[in-house]
Amino acid sequence: MATVRRVRRIVRKIDPWTTLKVSAVVWAVLAIALVLGTVIFWAVLDRAGIPDRITEFLTEITLIEQGTQPFANTEQFLRAVIFGAVAWWVAMTGLTVAGALVYNLVSDVVGGLEIVVLEESLNPPFPTAPATVLHPPADYRAGNGSRTPASHVDLPTEENPVVETVGD
């Protein structure tokens, strides 16, 4: 028979310093993934010749002048992507910490967020029969607790080491 135990927890405060550290790491990993994804996507587009086709199309409809190549500088594009990722990282980390601070202010008023967790256990909570009780040896019960039991007399101890003698 399964037993279900309900555990009720209330989240009253979120530490802003811990939120800053954790969110900085999480958003940094996501920013790096964004940069890598953008660089890989740009490399695929560049190999396919799509930026050149876009430049030709814009020249044909006279939005840009002949000889201008807005997509030719890959290094400048990479710098812009990295700058954007760093700005995004700083902004998202700051917004996460601000969210934690706002939560702390609101939780002071409303009491926090209550979470109820149900834990299911398949083991019975207590055994039905009492466990067997182990009694001390008979020598101890008779009041001879300071003496060594007869079954342990031959065992060596620090006070009584066993010395073997070789026959004469």
Domain-embedded: residue 157: no
User: Where residue 124 falls among pLDDT bands split at 50, 70, 90?
Assistant: low
Residue 56, in any domain of the structure:
yes
DSSP 102-121: HHHHHHHHH--EEEEEEEEE
How many helices, marked H, and strands, marked E, lie in the chain?
4, 2
Domain assignment of residue 57, given as a range: 3-121
Please report whether residue 27 resides in a domain. Answer: yes
Is residue 78 situated within a structural domain? yes
Is 8 within the bounds of a domain?
Answer: yes
d(CA 135, CA 140): 10
Position 154 in a domain: no
Q: How many domains does the chain have?
A: 1
Is there a domain that residue 166 lies in?
A: no
Q: What is the pLDDT of residues 85-109, one digit of tens each?
A: 999 999 999 999 999 999 999 999 9
Whole-prediction pTM: 0.59
